[in-house]
Amino acid sequence: LAAIPDVVELPEDQLIYLLHNSSRMLTGLHAHEVLSGLFLDAQVHAPTGAELAAAEIARGRADGLDDAAIMARYPVAMVLLPPRIGPARPLPHSASTRFSVLRGREADDPQVALAVSREVLRIRVRWTQELMARAAMEIGARLHRHGQLRRPADIRHLRLSTVVDMVLDYELKPDLEPAAHQPGPPLPEVFRVAPDGTVVADTRGAGAVQGVSGGRTIAEITHDPGNAAGRILATEALHPALAAVLPEVAGIVSQSGSPLSHLAILARERGVPVVIGFTDVRAMFPEGLLVLLDGTNGTAEKYSLDSAERS
């Protein structure tokens, strides 16, 4: 990846080839990541890319670096940002400069080595996604200059075959307005896709509160990820960027999420209790409320010091 020139220096045919080749590379990377997980002992803990990214972001901010400089000095930081074709989003808040360091026998454990290898694959996946996004944005910028796209980021609404046709024919201008700029109705919290492609609310699992990461804690609720140290964070979804708060947060309650989400996996590795499935989570858990959170049993209840003393 480091040997690839800046995308602004590449001609269109090489940018197209880069997108094709990177797509095949992603398939292989994901396949090896899945295979690593199949042979990995779930109880093994090793340093994660998210841990390292959070620490590097905190270190960069302590050195007075802006987001662009942090990304340039510590490329692993982009692990905490979801891939996106468009302007860069700000890096998440991170208060932790700590991450796991392997020493002695632990460093020689084959299972630990496998866990580290899986994290390396995950980081490489994210870097490859970023390369593809930047290549696509560069093509979009050129098509925009030729008058073929209204905005460079509109390229995300096109199939790669259409992009190839547009690069070959500067007169080609697809009509993106109906598809790209008319948002549909909001999605239900739980849904499935019907055979005809329509979205259907799935009430079978709706409202099911469940723990996705075990552990038990008592702490106050916060709605602010930047002020989550030692508190339980109430959030609408298990966003990947919240991995930055895992080293400091006491627990997480979420409106939506999945046991297989990246954040849930990281939380289990760190022993941070997480419970999902609450309706209107921020109204149910207001700022400052003291809560007993049990990720093993999948419960989150208001905690009273008076009742605790009586019991």
Report how far residue 115's alpha carbon sits from residue 37's, in angstroms, rounded to the nearest whole number: 8
pLDDT tens-digit map of 142-161: 999 999 999 999 999 999 99
In terms of domains, do 104 and 168 share one?
yes
Q: What are the two backbone dihedrals, phi and then psi, of residue 258, each rounded to the nearest 5 degrees?
A: -145, 145
Sort strands 191-193 and 199-201 into parallel, antiparallel or unpaired: antiparallel
Residue 76: inside a domain: no
| pLDDT (0 to 100) of residue 280 | 85
Tokens at residue 214, please?
Answer: 């075990």
Q: What are the two backbone dihedrals, phi and then psi, of residue 84, each rounded to the nearest 5 degrees?
A: -155, 135
In terms of domains, do 281 and 231 share one?
yes
Residue 109: which residues within 8 A CB-CB, separation 6 or more?
A: 44
Count of residues making up the chain: 311
Residue 66: inside a domain: no
Report how far residue 245's alpha carbon sits from residue 251's, in angstroms, rounded to the nearest whole number: 10
- Domain end (from 124, 154, 178): 178
Tokens at residue 188, please?
Answer: 């239900």
In terms of domains, do 132 and 216 share one?
no
In terms of domains, do 132 and 250 share one?
no
pTM assigned to the model: 0.69
In terms of domains, do 267 and 144 share one?
no
Which parts of the chain register pLDDT below 70?
1, 42, 94-107, 177-184, 186-191, 201-207, 305-311
pLDDT tens-digit map of 29-49: 999 988 988 888 867 777 788
Q: What is the CATH number of the domain that holds 297?
A: 3.50.30.10
Report how far residue 141's alpha carbon sits from residue 139's, in angstroms, rounded to the nearest whole number: 5
Domain containing 238: what range?
210-310
In terms of domains, do 228 and 276 share one?
yes
Task: Look up residue 116 and give its amino acid.
Answer: V
| pLDDT (0 to 100) of residue 181 | 54
- Domain end (from 178, 200, 232): 178
| pLDDT (0 to 100) of residue 47 | 78
The DSSP 8-state label assigned to residue 288 in this structure reads T
